[in-house]
Amino acid sequence: MDVAGEARVTSSKKWSVVYPVYINSRKLGRRVAADKACPDPTCGEIADCCSHLKIPCRIESDKSYPRDFLQVGRVRVQLKRDDGFPVNPEIVTRKNLWLTTGLLYNRFCLPCQPWVPSARH
């Protein structure tokens, strides 16, 4: 930690990359199970989940997913500091980050469904 209390940010070239397709429940090629994934996440929403988890991240909107060049944008995430210890002790691996991001997205980012009264007979 720096004197100001903020984590020291290193070069983002060695950070892990998260494409929105990795946690998209509607696409093939996702890295988590469909029930733990979220429908059509954006890079901004993934970055919001990372900031909620206190993990440094950076959005790269000029990059595209290699398997589908129409999927534009990715998020670089710093999982480990320079000394090798994790930034957030709860999030150690990329897979853990994908699962946690999917759960946070489903909990906080999905729009609320309107209440429909059930028909009782």
| Residue positions counted in the chain | 121
Q: What is the mean pLDDT of the chain?
A: 84
Class (C level, CATH) for 12-109: alpha beta
* pTM for this predicted structure: 0.78
pLDDT of residue 115: 54
Candidates 96, 91, 83, 105; CA nearest to 37 is 105
The set of residues, in sequence order, having a beta carbon less than 8 Å from that of 75 and lying 6+ positions away, is 17, 18, 19, 43, 46, 47, 50, 57, 58, 59, 60
Return the H-helix or E-strand segment holding 68. strand 68-77
Average pLDDT over residues 2-12: 51
Share of the chain above pLDDT 90, in %: 51
Q: Is the pLDDT of residue 50 over 60?
A: yes
CA angle 60, 1, 8 (to 5 degrees): 25
Q: Where are the domains of the chain?
A: 12-109
pLDDT of residue 113: 53
Q: Is the pLDDT of residue 3 over 50?
A: no
